[in-house]
Structure 1
């Protein structure tokens, strides 16, 4: 970066997002450099408790290690330890703190996740796409607090009133109808005083494709701007306000083929690359997310003119990124930067309650007592609902699998949705596999609880049944395999079958589609059920927004519970309803 100049004529915009930590230093003792410790987080998704299963951590050379990971209380201890390295420190998250969360958080509208992050000491969070799952008005309630009800679920069930976030949401590229940003576009945190003062500017934003990833009503009236253009327009403003270091926190990310701390950027791919290639070189660090991958990439290995680090801490609080920026106080410039991902190994227990041995490859943290007590209050409040049995299935688990494949669990959901909407004339139901969030973990005897099905579908979508012509239905099916976004195959209900061939040109990849053995007739009319997210054109399936004779049915979880309760033992459906030509 070039020398920073503080312009006295700049208006004091967004001062509520700024903070100063005084640390008086006499002129004779003024240091030449100062180090700011930044703890990077992303994609926490309300994981208040440790993951229920051991996780694989890619380390190096294609190898991985297993460990019990995550949990807010353990993350709090890991963050606190990282803070001790430098008096100047801050915590920044790159979105999806909330949304698609386990029951203990989601059933309370993710209020406990906000409370946990308040206690961890988060400074800024860039909004992600899942922050909009319940609509932007509810997201503003997360920031400001209060008990105004914007969803079907009642707020403030445990804390009255809900206090809101002590940290600042940032939304530089999310524009309200009046032209202002939904939240402040950036914040500045200042450390020290006088000649020893260090100022860190943080630009926060989400991916511009957020509207295609959430229910359209949740972003109604909002405009999402280009990411790189938005960042580049704000860099001079931050310099003018005295920022010595510029951090971008963005909910967009990469995939890699290397370990969590390999700095080589080996095998990087993903939508973030196009943004990084256009970024102002004065940016020092990019904290990213969205892909749920963990990496530390020295981007200068790709483009020597852009000497910033690009980081991501995986998913769910399983890691944090420990970033150190060294600032030359005379030049007001970052002269060195380093980052490492730290594995947050928690203290797991097996099914009998016995402690699970720690993996010596990673540090094991003790839970922070204050955060642990806070989380336990919400876990206890959710336990009655979570432990209620809703039925039995013929398998111990059904893996959701990737979004590009039909799965048993997706087929089970589609069958349940068809079962629940037969009275509305439904003949076919489709489930988007990207909406299946976790495996359905049944007990040894096949028992499934409400907590199990809630974890699988935490969004609270309603079921919508519409009439489509056969021609519309075929056009909808083609959208699974077009080149607009990623390929995503539906899991369809029983009696429906389709075959596709990705070797064909886009628009002609659907080879065949049939219902009860009969080819779909373009001139006929079909009643189709989908969740409310898809019904509004979510995931880019715009044809779903068409259709006539719309009937709103039950909530997806109620449909699943009724389907499981209808028989003593529900057989998990086989796959094979969708086939690919080879």
Structure 2
């Protein structure tokens, strides 16, 4: 067998090729010597059945102007239109189909989103980190169906799960056994096309660790190369990768600009096997359409389609019938914005309306008012007004359990709030994960260790920071230029110095309590007590304290 292929992968590959080949697009090719195939992909849908609101409601066009975009009914309409324009087509998702979802999806355990994907007849999906937000067991239910979860099957009497493969070639159990399919193959007009899916190698650090404790996520490039070798061994030469890693363009651009000079997806694309012909990326919620050289020096398309159903990425490839490989010089690609100037797909619109009508009474309920915008904009200290408010809400929720301090992670805050009335749906959009709150008993020394972990590094990134929002009454000094481990000093609670040996009660969400985002020091808690959940805490603050004013962002003093 080819280099680096384990016996388990070889057996799996043989089984897949024997049982999982499907036939699509039997229309005649444009030339007797070639087959033309349109590859379509979207990414980071996040349960967006309705057109997204807030900052994600619009998208930049090629001329720099913005247009409303997204919504499942328009996404389905564009997919149908794009497929009808081609003799042969395959449709993929690059992951984060659900998780951090809009209320009309998450209220029903994201079962409406799985139904949407089934109706759209996607050929395969990568597994993003958010598919694992609720742990492996719930992922298996979403994959295979059933009503075992709390509040399951409240959208429909039954739930059959996904009709498409959810894949990650680098996701294994801790003993190295594959935990899911690494690839699938479709036969298009007699020619096989393989697609490999790749999860982020840091998935275990960015989801609740306990939910994926039985899983490992390997190096992306190694998994791509190994799996491409398997496909090549079995005669599959045309290969696409669904990579759940993304880049941040240096400057904002239109859907088909490529303003990316660095990032994890670009790095992977430059190093991954030259046997791969097209790479669709995800996770960063950006739009770009790039062409990078593979390790053999041949150009290949690398692209991403924003998020929340606002873009369909399209790569038109031509395959030589004799070699079965993609003729790279004939590949063309574009990102199609999902505008609202076409007729929405009626079947999908009915599904979205059904979900909204079931959720509307809860969604539209006012929970409070705010006197000024609450945003995630960071002050020089790294604090944000909405982050500090959420920390205050979590402290209030944990007070009955003895909480003295609360800390919350910026990655768990997903939207801003505009001045005026706040509805339950808007509050949910800010805190969509439904994380339980935990009140931890930890020493002052462990608390300092956790704050020092706000500064981290990883192999593919320069050092970066995640500043936790602190609750009122807790202050400290931050020196970013100080050596690692000594950047935090002068910690005080209501003016009193934090004693390294004293035990304090600190409220955090479960994600942080389990060491998520690298805050492993919080796992040293001597005792843990439940205190409700983060969304309920935020709603309670609005309900009891309205009108609410944005808190100051002066709890962290910066020097240096």
| Structure with the higher helix share, 1 or 2 | 2
Equivalent in 246, 251, 271 of residue 239 of structure 2: 246
Is 2:214 the counterpart of 1:211? no
2:3 alignment counterpart:
none
- Change in 2 beyond 3 A, CA 1:230/1:382: same
* Residues 57 and 64, structure 1, Cα contact 8 Å, conserved in 2: no
Aligned ranges 1:540-555 → 2 under 5 Å? 540-555=518-533
Q: How far does residue 441 in structure 1 lie from its aligned partner after superposition?
A: 4.2
Shift of 1:56: 5.2
Deviation string for 1:309-331 (max 9, x for gaps)? 11110111111111101111122
What CA distance in whole angstroms lies between the structure 1 residues aligned with 2:289 and 2:552? 40
Q: Distance in 2 between matches of 1:66 and 1:58?
A: 4
User: Could you say if the C-alpha distance between residues 318 and 536 of structure 1 is closer, same or farther in structure 2, counting changes exceeding 3 Å?
Assistant: same
Q: Deviations over 1:471-527 (max 9, x none)?
A: 111111111124356311111101112232222232222243222123322232211
Comparing 230-239 and 385-394, the one that deviates more: 385-394
Q: Distance in 1 between matches of 2:456 and 2:241?
A: 32
1:190 pairs with 2:187:
yes
Matched, 1:448 2:448: no
Residue equivalent to 1:401: 377
Which is further off, 172-181 or 118-127?
Answer: 172-181
Report the counterpart of residue 403 of structure 2 in structure 1.
426
Aligned 8 A contact 1:17 1:186 in 2: no
The answer to whether residue 303 in structure 2 is matched with residue 311 in structure 1 is: yes
- In the TM superposition, residue 25 of structure 1 has moved relative to its aligned partner by 6.1
CA–CA separation in structure 1 for the residues paired with 2:289 and 2:213: 35
SS in 2 for 1:411: helix
Question: 2:77 touches 2:345 (CA, 8 Å); kept in 1?
Answer: yes
Q: Which position in structure 1 is the counterpart of 2:467?
A: 489
Structure 2 vs 1, CA of residues 242 and 24 (structure 1 numbering), >3 Å: closer, same or farther?
A: farther
Distance 2:369 2:448 in 1: 35
Please name the residue that 2:158 is paired with.
161
Determine the C-alpha separation between the residues in 1 that align with 2:137 and 2:239: 29
Per-residue CA deviation, residues 194-243 of structure 1 (Å, 9 max, x unaligned), is xxx22210001201100000111221211111111111111121123332
Q: Which runs of 5+ in 2 are unaligned?
A: 1-9
TM-score by length of 1: 0.88
SS in 2 for 1:558: helix
Structure-2 residue corresponding to 1:565: 543
Q: Is the contact made by 2:59 and 2:310 (CA closer than 8 Å) also made in structure 1?
A: no
Name the residue aligned to 1:435: 412
* SS across alignment from 2:119: helix
Determine if contact 1:402/1:434 at 8 Å carries over to the other structure. no
Residues 350-397 of structure 1: CA distance to partner in whole angstroms, max 9, x if unpaired?
Answer: xxxxxxxxxxxxxx22210000001100110011111222223323x3
Alpha-carbon distance between aligned partners in 2 of 1:474 and 1:457, rounded to the nearest angstrom: 26
> What's the secondary structure of 1:254's corresponding residue?
coil
Q: Does 1:226 align with 2:219?
A: yes
Secondary structure in 1 matching 2:268: helix
SS of the equivalent of 2:290 reads strand
1:327 aligns with 2:304: no
- Is 1:20 the counterpart of 2:12 in the alignment? no
Alignment deviations for residues 281-315 of structure 1 (CA, whole Å, 9 cap, x no partner): 11101111111111111012x86624221111011
Quote the Cα distance in structure 2 between the aligned partners of 1:120 and 1:10. 27
Closer, same or farther in 2 for the Cα pair 1:237/1:568, shift >3 Å?
closer
**Corresponding residue of 1:139:** 139
Query: How far apart are the structure 2 equivalents of 1:236 and 1:273?
Result: 21
> 1:499–1:513: 8 Å Cα contact kept in structure 2?
yes
Q: 82-91 vs 496-505, which deviates more?
A: 496-505
RMSD of aligned C-alpha atoms? 2.4
* Residues 37 and 85 in structure 1, CA contact (< 8 A), matched pair in contact too: no
Matched residue, 2:332 = 338
**Match in the other structure for 1:577:** 555
Change over 3 Å in CA distance of 1:482–1:171 after alignment to 2: closer
